Structure formats: structure tokens, C-alpha cells
Amino acid sequence: MPKLLHLACSPRADSESAAGARVFLEHFRKAHSDWDIDLMDLWRDHLPDFSGAILDAKYARLKGQAFTDAERDGFAAAERIALRLALADRVLISTPMWNFGIPYRLKHWLDVIIQPGLTFRFDPSQGYLPPLKDRPTLVILASGSDFVTGMNRGRIDMATPYMREALRFIGITSVRFVPIGPTTGPADPIRIAREHAHRRLAELAVNF
């Protein structure tokens, strides 16, 4: 059964990114009734701390050293998280923008899975290489400002380029972004931005 991995990155069930994901998934399920949806809620699902055995395992891998038992267990925890991504045929990431970037729980997920020998390897003649195959990925990014029309109140969107580069590093280059913003301020611009994003998400879901 083909699988869509959904990373839900907002702690608020009524957030704009969560609402956008619901619209997308509603239309996706109608068009792809035989697909399995693997929901990973980054605020409810366990993410191992990137410290201790996992951190030691990363440096052991970088140095070409064998794992200790603790390092092996730590790396296995990271491997289980990364496996959910590796098994996904499509990926949906719904996230807010926090302080110009991504929520720390999404960064935590990336820190756990971006491991040598797991989601990247290094070749002296070719540089860094991703073992993962590319797969269509959609990022729903909700922000207080409007980065589409330029009404961003002087803020800089560092979330989009960061996510694009982090995903590229592990082999995922077929990435689309659907921004939702502004999500704060006068009601009319918020409503117009939401409606536009939801229409776009409904369209993308059919052939995703």
C-alpha cells in the first residue's frame, strides 16, 4: 500500500497550518483512497533527545569507529524515526513559521534523522551524497506576515530556504511550498490568504 507521511508541526489543532493540512488530506483521500496516511505529530510522538548515545553514535560514524552498545541503541532510535520517512512515497509537512524560521520540534526531527550512513554519506571524490530517493513533498507554511505579496512587515522568511536545503541534503528535491499568510492582522487579508491557499491545496491534492 502506498504511503503518505504527514509531519504535523504545530502544537495547536486549530492553527492555520493544521487547517490547511486538513483541506489537503480531505481531497487527497478522495483521490487516493488506497493510500495509507502515516501521521507523525511532532508534539505528541516521541522524539529521542539528540544527546548522549545518539550524539556519540553520530561522531563514531563520522570517525569510522565501531558503535558501543549504548551508541548502537541510540542510533537505532534515530533509525526508527528516519525509516518512517524512507518508507513514505509522498511527504506532507504542515508547519507554522516561528521567529522567522521553523518550530524547534521540526528542527529536532531533522537533527535526529540527518545522520551519516542513515540519510547522507560522504564520498571524498563526490562530496555529500544522499542515499534516500527523491519523493514529492509538500510544505504548508503558515506565517503571521504575507511573504507572497511582500507585505511582510520587514521580516525575513528563513523557513523556506532552510527547509528546501535540509531536504535537498537528504535527497528530497521535489518540494513545493504553499504559504498561508498573513495569519494575523485585519480579518479580510487573513480570509483572502486562507481561501487562496485552501484552493491551491485542494488542487494539488488530486494529482499529488
CB under 8 Å to 10, separation ≥6 — which residues?
Answer: 17, 18, 43, 94, 95, 96, 103, 142
Could you report the per-residue pLDDT of 130-146, keeping only the tens digit for each?
999 999 999 999 999 88
Q: Is the pLDDT of residue 153 over 70?
A: no
Number of domains in the chain: 1
Residues in the chain: 208
Q: What is the CA radius of gyration of the chain?
A: 18
**77 band by pLDDT with thresholds 50, 70 and 90:** very high
Q: Is the pLDDT of residue 155 over 80?
A: no
Report the greatest alpha carbon distance in the chain: 59
Q: Is the pLDDT of residue 149 over 90?
A: no
Using an 8 Å Cβ cutoff, are 144 and 113 in contact?
no
Helix, strand, coil share (%) of the chain residues, nearest 5: 40, 20, 40
Average pLDDT, the chain: 94
Using an 8 Å Cβ cutoff, are 137 and 79 in contact?
no
C-alpha cell read off for 124: 571524498
Could you report the per-residue pLDDT of 188-205, keeping only the tens digit for each?
999 999 999 999 999 999
Nearest to 20 by CA among 104, 138, 172: 138
Tell me the mean pLDDT in the region 11-17: 96
Residue-level pLDDT at 154: 62
Domain containing residue 177: 3-206
**Rounded to 10 degrees, what is the CA torsion of 161, 163, 168, 170?**
150
Residue-level pLDDT at 156: 86
Helical segments of the chain, H only: 16-31, 53-62, 69-86, 104-113, 159-169, 187-206
CATH number of the domain that 14 lies in? 3.40.50.360
Q: Is the pLDDT of residue 151 over 70?
A: no
Q: Is the pLDDT of residue 2 over 90?
A: yes
Q: Does the reported pTM lie above 0.75?
A: yes
C-alpha cell read off for 35: 493510500
Q: What CA–CA distance (Å, rounded) separates 18 from 12? A: 8
Q: Is the pLDDT of residue 73 over 80?
A: yes
E strands of the chain, at which residues? Answer: 3-8, 36-41, 90-96, 121-123, 127-129, 137-142, 175-180
